[in-house]
Chain A
Amino acid sequence: MLNYTIRRLMFTVPVLLFISFIIFLLLDLAPNDPTGNLPMTIPPEVRQQIRESLGLDQPIWVRYLLWCKQFFINEPLNIIEQWFGIQIGDGDRLRVRSWATRSPVVDLIVERLPQTLWVVGMSYVVGILIAIPIGVVSAYRQYSWFDQIGTFISMVGFSVPTFFTGVLMIVIFSVWLGWFPSIYDTTLVVEDWASFMQQVRQMAMPVFVLALFNAAQISRFMRASMLDNLNQDYVRTARAKGLKERTVLLVHVLRNSLIPVVTVIALNVPQVFGGAIITEQVFKVNGLGQLLIIGIQGADIPLVQTLTFIFAVLIVLFNLIADILYGILDPRIRYD
């Protein structure tokens, strides 16, 4: 297993480089333009000069290599300098800069991480925590009223998009009842009970909306997988052996049913960092998802390139973790 992991990790480097090039190519090909959202009063010649000042007149490979240098050499050096307080070279390195804000992309990402991790991360945790028991019980008591209601809610939760549920929540809980704020305050610092409650109130709605969506998806896979395993011979054997029903269910069946669920969760973890574009937009959370969508709309290539590349790293990493988990959950799976 260790061997396998090391081999995979080594293979990851060229794969990620290739992915980064494909992303760059894609962003370059995309027809949106950084001057597209400027007011009409800015004349075409000035727009052309703006594009040139962003370096858009240079060939694509020059820009790609520049990005590689900035991202793979300059940024890590910069982080090392900041962490250890030392000076490497003259310290005057070009960092990856967003075109819209003209500030280093990495700083923007660091600024946005807290709210995204809080809101989106929490919603995944909540989603998983409610989805797994629901999936297990629905499968064990298939076609009971619990199962039927669970199916109904999760299907509605999945098929009604968050742009709708989010606005519905705001209308009910912010406008009519006035319980929760409709706009997330990213500058809030939790330092005492009152500000903690404030944080809880402003997180309540986005977390609920996202958790519903995630729980719907995960509980379906959990239920299906449990159903598959409940009829297997080994379950009958375990029961025949006189094991307690509880042990049969939670140790034998659950463990064997987790493979598809682990896949779904592993696929979703990078999305925690990717933020939830629509939910963040609806509740004005302004996390990484909102940063990405603004970047894409404004054709902010350095920003989008850096963000998507970081997601790519996370995706590759978590898929590797999922593969390793398969091996742990089912020792028969061997990769060597």
Chain B
Amino acid sequence: MKYRSILAAAALALASAPMAQAGRGDAGNLNIIYWQAASILNPYLSGGTKDIDASALILEPLARYDENGNMVPWLAEEIPTVANGGVSEDLTTITWKLKEGIKWSDGTDLTADDVVFTANYCMAPDGGCQGLAAFADVANVEALDPLTVKITFDKPKPFPYGPFVGATTPIIQRAQFENCVGAKAPECTEQNFNPVGTGPFRVVEFRANDVITMEANPNYRDPDKPHFATLTFKGGGDAAAAARAVLETGEFDYAWNLQIDPAILSQMAKGGKGTVISAFGTAVERLMVNLTNPDPALGEKRSTLEGGPHPFLTDPAVRRALSLAIDRNLLAEVGYGAAGQATCNVVPAPAIYVSTANDECLVQDIAKANAILDEAGWLPGPDGIRQKDGVRLSILYQTSTNAVRQDTQALIKQWWSEIGVETELKNIDAAVFFGGDQSSPDTFQKFYADIEMYTNLFDGTDPETYMKSWTCEEIPSPANNWLGSNMPRYCNPEYDALWAKLAATGPLEERAEIVKQLNDMLVQDGAMIPLIHRGRVSAHANSLTGVKLNTWDSEMWNVADWDRQ
């Protein structure tokens, strides 16, 4: 019933809207497959990439990042800066001006009230808003006039582009969500499944965790766009199946996140139906080195600062040798193909932040690694495993379950065996490993292992909050319920001081210099062994034009420009 009435309304709207222009809707249907299905269209209630990307077709932020990581105004007239007066001199306020004449898909006007409401919606207590991190330090959001919004922060914000920039914090309509604030947010199924947006598409039918049917938004600001009249956003299956549907059978036009063996992907691409595309953001696959002792005998104190230092990983020679024994280029080639590059840095992008001080590790040198260990007194025992003072170099190496990660584990285990280090591999289901369940011993925060591997990244282009992850106060421990992101338990007062300096520094060049120093400290002190700078891989049909793969924002950021040849 509901479905039919929506259709009827859509037909009416389409009939009454000025349909004369060429362009809008002339390219037919667009088929997109995400192998993880979207479960909700409200990005504030689900931070999953699939949900954010699906909602990015409908909801839009004030500003976005383009494919090169530059900020571009979206619903706003321009990017506020200190130079144009949009950001106050003391860096505590930012004032956004909305573009004129933007309408919601129901025909009403977008106003500053909607922006203020969106902020209050996310910051309401008990709402469980998943984009809350973007609103850190926000004291107040107010509408100065129908098209002007002023955000005030608690303290100077050298980088004030947290709220409403990028796909995680788009503007939602006040009229629609007014009664859905705080604890009531999850109960608004109708709103969460059919949000009214300013974007190029609007929902016709939403089937949670399955498929979304959309149609062009009749009130979209550009009368020629979007080029597609309807859109199908299908979910389910696995990455290989999604790749097959675009590259081999041609059933779909766009497939997301194709993390599969590069050899298979390139063979599928030979089908000639589609193109594999990749782009690099800030994601780095790295080894976290446990600097504390994970010995089960320590009980509660296991893997905490109180439990004492790690028996051998605190030796810089061991960490350097472990890093040198790894052939990162080979790992990238075998596991990631075009979507991976060897890196020795924790911050691999944007270019201005990238350090070159650690590039020693780019070339594998087993002989040198062996020499370093010999020199440090770690000598091979009768079983070929190096030891010193009764301590054997035996490592428990854990990661999440993922075909590429298990291949990487196998390769690294072999290289480490060549320098006399014994490795036991362990892989844990991702929902357990990355879940914060207090009772589980297998979470990445508890880190009951010597080495663990996963990818970390930061949103947007500013690494300030990301670099905070490795300050002393971020160390997970029983005292803070294991909440914290400093997995290596790296605690260095110098690092903390330097980070504080970063948070207080405004000019970009100076900030970049500090970030490089922080990065070098982390790598040279051996808290982390970076491996691969990971890109995103997607594929689109050859007939689809206008796709610009963007790792700084949602992949769907410019879907309005997509067209069919």
Q: Are A and B close enough to touch in the complex, i.e. CB under 8 Å?
A: yes
B128:A54 contact, CB within 8 angstroms: yes
Chain A residues within an 8 Å CB radius of B244: 170, 174-175, 182
Are B237 and A183 within 8 A (Cβ)? yes
CA A42 – CA B47 in complex, angstroms?
8
Q: Does B14 contact A (CB under 8 A)?
A: no
Does B126 reach chain A (CB closer than 8 Å)? yes
Given contacts A36-B436, A43-B133, A102-B186, A174 and B483 within 8 Å (CB-CB): no
Contact with A along B376-414 (1 / 0, CB 8 A): 000000000000000000000000000000000000000
Residue of B nearest to A281 (CB): B237
Complex partner residue of A101 from B39, B436, B476, CB under 8 angstroms: B39
Assess whether B436 is in contact with A47, with CB atoms less than 8 Å apart: yes
Contact present for B128 and A33 (CB under 8 Å): no
Q: Would you call B435 and A31 a contact (CB within 8 A)?
A: yes
Q: Is the CB of B207 within 8 A of A33?
A: no
User: Can you add 7 more A-B contacts, CB < 8 Å, to A101-B39, A102-B188?
Assistant: A32-B432, A34-B435, A36-B432, A46-B132, A175-B249, A181-B251, A297-B431
Say whether A159 faces chain B, with CB atoms less than 8 Å apart.
no
Docked CA distance A48–B437 (Å)? 10
| A112: B residues at CB distance < 8 A | 210
Pick the residue among B45, B248, B431 that contacts A102 (CB under 8 A).
B45
A31 contacts which of B42, B168, B248, B437 (Cβ < 8 Å)? B437
- SS class of chain B's interface: helix, strand, loop or mixed? loop
Q: Is A243 an interface position by the 8 A CB rule?
A: no
Contacting B at CB under 8 A, from A133-174, are 170, 174
A selection of 14 A-B contacts at a CB cut-off of 8 Å is: A31-B437, A31-B440, A33-B432, A36-B431, A44-B436, A47-B483, A48-B483, A49-B132, A53-B183, A102-B42, A102-B186, A175-B249, A182-B251, A286-B210
The interface-forming segment of A103-111, A231-239, A246-254 is: A103-111
B232 partner residues in chain A, CB cutoff 8 A = 187
State in angstroms the CA–CA spacing of A108 and B207 once bound together. Answer: 8
Contact of B435 among A32, A43, A48 (CB under 8 A): A32
The size of the chain A interface, using a CB distance under 8 A, is: 58
The docked-state distance in angstroms from the alpha carbon of A293 to that of B33 is 19
Known A103-B189, A175-B248: A42·B133 in contact at CB below 8 Å: yes
Tell me if B459 counts as interface (CB < 8 A to partner A): yes
What is the CB-to-nearest-CB distance from B383 to chain A, in angstroms, rounded to a whole number?
A: 34
Chain B residues near A285 (CB, 8 Å)?
236
User: Contact flags (1/0) for B120-158 with A, using CB distance below 8 Å?
Assistant: 000000111110110000000000000000000000000
Q: 1/0 per residue A85-124: CB within 8 Å of B? A: 0000000000001101111100110011000000000000
B210 to chain A, nearest CB (A): 4
Asked if B47 and A186 make an inter-chain contact with CB atoms under 8 angstroms apart, the answer reads no
Residue B424 is within 8 A (CB to CB) of chain A in the complex:
no
B48 & A39 in contact (Cβ 8 Å cutoff): yes
Question: Which residues of B lie under 8 Å from residue A48 when comparing CB positions?
Answer: 436, 481, 483
Closest A residue, CB atoms, query B236: A284
Contact B213 A187 (CB under 8 A): yes
Chain A 271-330 interface residues, beta-carbon cutoff 8 Å to B? 281-286, 290-291, 294, 297-299
Residue B442, interface by CB 8 Å: yes
Q: Please tell me if A29 contacts chain B, counting CB pairs below 8 Å.
A: yes
Q: Which of A45, A46, A284 contacts B130 (CB 8 A)?
A: A46
Q: Does A52 belong to the interface (CB within 8 Å)?
A: yes
Is B47 within 8 A of A33, CB to CB?
no
A25 in the interface (beta carbon within 8 A): no
Instruction: Quote the shortest CB–CB distance from B406 to chain A (angstroms).
Output: 17
Q: Which B residues are CB-close (under 8 A) to A66?
A: none
Instruction: Count contacts between A and B, CB distance < 8 Å.
Output: 187
- Residue in chain A with minimal CB distance to B440: A31
Complex: A186 Cα to B237 Cα, angstroms: 14
> Whose C-beta in chain A lies nearest to the C-beta of B235?
A286
A224 to chain B, nearest CB (A): 37
Q: Does B211 reach chain A (CB closer than 8 Å)?
A: yes
A103 and B128 in contact, given A42-B47, A42-B133, A281-B237 (Cβ under 8 angstroms): no
Q: Which B residues have a C-beta under 8 Å from some C-beta of A?
A: 33, 37, 39-40, 42, 45-49, 126-130, 132-133, 168, 183, 185-189, 192-193, 205, 207-211, 213, 232, 234-238, 241, 244-245, 248-249, 251-252, 271, 429-437, 439-440, 442-443, 445, 454-459, 465, 476, 481, 483-485
Which 9 pairs, one residue from A and one from B, show the smallest C-beta to C-beta distance?
Answer: A33-B435, A53-B128, A36-B435, A31-B440, A32-B431, A101-B208, A44-B483, A36-B431, A102-B186
Q: Which residues of B contact A198 (CB under 8 A)?
A: none
Q: Are B436 and A183 in contact (CB under 8 A)?
A: no
The reply to whether A286 and B211 form a contact with Cβ atoms under 8 Å apart is: yes
Which residues of A have CB within 8 Å of B208? 98, 100-101, 103, 108, 111
CB contact between A281 and one of B236, B249, B434 (< 8 Å): that residue: B236
Is the CB–CB distance between B430 and A36 below 8 Å? yes
- Whether A37 lies near B234 (C-beta < 8 A) is no
- Contact partners of B210 in chain A: CB under 8 A: 111-112, 186, 286, 290
Q: In the assembled complex, which residues on chain A have CB atoms less than 8 Å from the CB atom of B457?
A: 39-41
Is B209's CB under 8 angstroms from A291's CB? Answer: yes
| B483 adjacent to A294 (CB under 8 Å) | no
The chain A residue with its CB closest to the CB of B458 is A41
Contact B207 A186 (CB under 8 A): yes
User: Do the beta carbons of A284 and B128 come within 8 Å of each other?
Assistant: no
Known: A32-B429, A102-B189. A40 touches B456 (CB 8 A): yes
**Alpha-carbon distance A31/B193, docked complex (angstroms):** 29
**Assembly CA distance A108 to B40 (angstroms):** 12
Bound CA–CA A52/B455 (angstroms)? 26
Set of chain B residues within 8 Å of A297, measured between Cβ atoms:
431
